[in-house]
């Protein structure tokens, strides 16, 4: 492979063969190293996802350079994905810099405005062989600085989804069927009937956001019903930070990042391996 790819072919392959490609949110060199190392070991296609605050924190050029190194060092397909970006100008700039997959999230806008914004991104992205994901419906919880409460949450309407896909020309669609960003207050209930209806009306790959903290069996059922990209963020941050906290409790005078980051990476690696197994993406390359 040896270059950063778009998500187009990897998601079409997943759709055809009934598995999902995991999209892991990373924040720095260490978390990127973990997802690449485990995906490579398990021969899984990989989507490295970065939210707006991650791109700001780590710097767009640094992220692209690190992903390019990863792509050169492994034979698995690697996509670098802009996750939950809302600023069209910033998305265009990041595409110019080297991102080949972008999610434009205008789900908080009206249906008509959402279409208008997404169409602009699609027109620009497709000129550079970049895939576009959009969202219809809102997920409860917080993704970066965007907070959606229960009163504002709305499930994806199957008929609206069909119209939305046809009007925008997007490559994949993130749907709201009961998942949420962050951790759940109770056991999540996914609307599988709604998923089935959407799948029957929409032929492009479907995406499940807010998959952290969702029971494995529910994620796997969603994959059998047409989900072929699964986003994972919170489930990675908790073990990473937890292991570092434990290290400092046991070693209060420690000050070497190479020492205290390593247990965080090890703890995160176990979760990445588990998520790849749940998605069924191991040994696909």
Say what the pLDDT of residue 260 is: 97
Burial class (CB in 10 A: 0-12, 13-18, 19+), 20: buried
Q: Of residues 83, 94, 171, 235, which has the active-site annotation?
A: 83
Neighbour tally for 61: CB within 10 Å: 11
Q: Which residues are annotated as a binding site for Zn(2+)?
A: 84, 105, 135, 181, 209
For the chain, the structural domain boundaries read: 8-279
Please state, in angstroms and rounded to a whole number, the distance separating the CA atoms of residues 196 and 161. 12
pTM, rounded to two decimals: 0.91
Q: Following DSSP, what letter does each residue of 147-182 receive, concatenated?
A: EE-GGG-BPPPHHHHHHHHHHH--SEEEE-SS-BSS
The reported pLDDT for the residue numbered 137 is: 82
- The DSSP letter of residue 126 is G
Question: What does the pLDDT read at residue 140?
Answer: 44
256 an active-site residue? no
For residue 144, give Cα distances in angstroms to 56, 147, 156, 204, 217: 11, 8, 22, 27, 27
Architecture of domain 8-279: Alpha-Beta Barrel (3.20)
Per-residue pLDDT of the chain (285 residues; tens, 9 = 90+): 579 999 999 999 999 999 999 999 999 999 999 999 999 999 999 999 999 999 999 999 999 999 999 999 999 999 999 999 999 999 999 999 999 999 999 998 999 999 999 999 999 999 999 999 999 986 444 344 444 444 445 789 999 999 999 999 999 999 999 876 545 455 678 999 999 999 999 999 999 988 777 899 999 999 999 999 999 999 999 999 999 999 999 999 999 999 999 999 999 999 999 999 999 999 999
**Tell me, what's the pLDDT at 243?**
98
Can you give the pLDDT at residue 153?
A: 53
- Cβ-contact 82, 103 below 8 angstroms: yes
């Amino acid at each position: 492979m040896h270059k950063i790819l778009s998500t187009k072919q990897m998601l079409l392959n997943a759709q055809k063969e009934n598995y999902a490609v995991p999209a892991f949110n990373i924040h720095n060199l260490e978390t990127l190293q973990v997802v690449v190392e485990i995906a490579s070991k398990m021969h899984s296609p990989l989507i490295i996802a970065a939210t707006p605050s991650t791109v700001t924190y780590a710097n767009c050029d640094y992220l692209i350079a690190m992903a390019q190194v990863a792509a050169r060092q492994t034979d698995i397909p690697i996509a670098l994905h802009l996750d939950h970006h809302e600023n069209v100008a910033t998305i265009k700039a990041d595409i110019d810099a080297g991102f080949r997959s972008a999610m434009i999230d205008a789900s908080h806008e009206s249906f008509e405005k959402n279409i208008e914004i997404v169409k602009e991104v699609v027109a620009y992205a497709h000129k550079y062989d970049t895939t576009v994901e959009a969202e219809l419906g809102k997920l409860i919880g917080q993704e970066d600085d965007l907070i959606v409460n229960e009163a504002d949450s709305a499930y994806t309407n199957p008929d609206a989804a069909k119209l939305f896909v046809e009007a925008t020309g997007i490559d994949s669609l993130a749907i709201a069927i009961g998942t949420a960003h962050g951790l759940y207050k109770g056991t999540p209930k996914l609307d599988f009937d709604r998923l089935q209806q959407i799948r029957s009306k929409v032929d492009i790959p479907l995406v499940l956001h807010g998959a952290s903290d969702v029971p494995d069996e529910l994620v796997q059922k969603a994959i059998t019903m047409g989900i072929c990209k699964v986003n994972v963020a919170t489930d990675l941050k908790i073990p990473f930070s937890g292991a570092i906290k434990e290290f400092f409790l046991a070693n209060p005078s420690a000050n070497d990042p190479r020492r205290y980051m390593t247990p965080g990476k090890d703890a995160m690696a176990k979760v990445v391996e588990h998520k790849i197994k749940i998605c069924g993406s191991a040994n696909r390359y």
